[in-house]
């Protein structure tokens, strides 16, 4: 799984949070791709491609994103065809809650469809 945020700190912290709440989830490869290559706020296509390659185990890669350009850059990379591993997909989910649900689900050995469904269901958890 790849976590794409405008901020390097947000991406790294959400990855740590999701893995922590999933009981370590040692078997689930999670890579943050936050901020620009120069360390600023924004989205880097290069960091996203590198993170996706680093977690690819051949079963597809789920990409979760935060806002605007993160979403559009991942969509554009998927449309390119050869920039991301085979089976890479943008998962439509809230960033923090979706990441936790996805890692917990992936840690049970579930496939990418189940991981995507679990992450998407996080939209339904109302807080009030």
Partner 1 sequence: MLDADFFRRWMTVAAASVDREAERLTALDSAIGDADHGSNLQRGFTAVRATLEKESPETPGQVLTLAGRQLISTVGGASGPLYGTLLRRAGKALGDAAEVDEAQLAEALRAGVDGVMALGGAAPGDKTMIDALAPAVDALPDGFAAARAAAEEGAVATTPLQARKGRASYLGERSIGHQDPGATSSALLIAALQEAASGA
- Site residues (CB under 8 A) for partner 1? 36, 40-46, 67-69, 72-73, 75-77, 79-80
Q: Which residues pair with 64 in a beta bridge?
A: 3
Q: Min. distance of Cβ 88 from partner 1 in angstroms?
A: 15
Cβ closer to partner 1: 41 or 59?
Answer: 41
Cβ closer to partner 1: 71 or 110?
Answer: 71
Cβ closer to partner 1: 45 or 114?
Answer: 45
Sequence-ordered list of residues with C-beta below 8 angstroms from that of 80, at least 6 positions apart, any chain: none
**Contact in structure between 114 and 60 (CB atoms under 8 Å):** no
Residue 64: both structure tokens together: 């979760």
Integer Cα distance of 98 and 84 in angstroms: 21
Q: Min. distance of Cβ 78 from partner 1 in angstroms?
A: 10
Q: Min. distance of Cβ 45 from partner 1 in angstroms?
A: 4
Integer Cα distance of 43 and 111 in angstroms: 27
Cβ closer to partner 1: 25 or 77?
Answer: 77
Q: Min. distance of Cβ 104 from partner 1 in angstroms?
A: 30
Strands 88-90 and 61-65, bridge-based pairing: parallel
């Amino acid at each position: 799984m790849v976590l794409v945020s405008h901020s390097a700190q947000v991406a790294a912290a959400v990855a740590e949070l999701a893995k922590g709440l999933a009981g370590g989830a040692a078997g689930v490869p999670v890579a943050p791709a936050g901020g620009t290559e120069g360390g600023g706020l924004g989205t880097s296509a290069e960091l996203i491609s590198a993170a996706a390659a680093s977690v690819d185990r051949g079963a597809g890669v789920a990409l979760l994103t935060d806002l605007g350009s993160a979403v559009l850059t991942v969509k554009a990379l998927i449309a390119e065809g050869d920039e991301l591993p085979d089976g890479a997909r943008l998962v439509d989910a809230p960033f923090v809650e979706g990441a936790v649900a996805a890692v917990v689900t992936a840690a049970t050995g579930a496939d990418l469809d189940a991981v995507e469904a679990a992450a998407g269901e996080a939209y339904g958890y109302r807080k009030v």
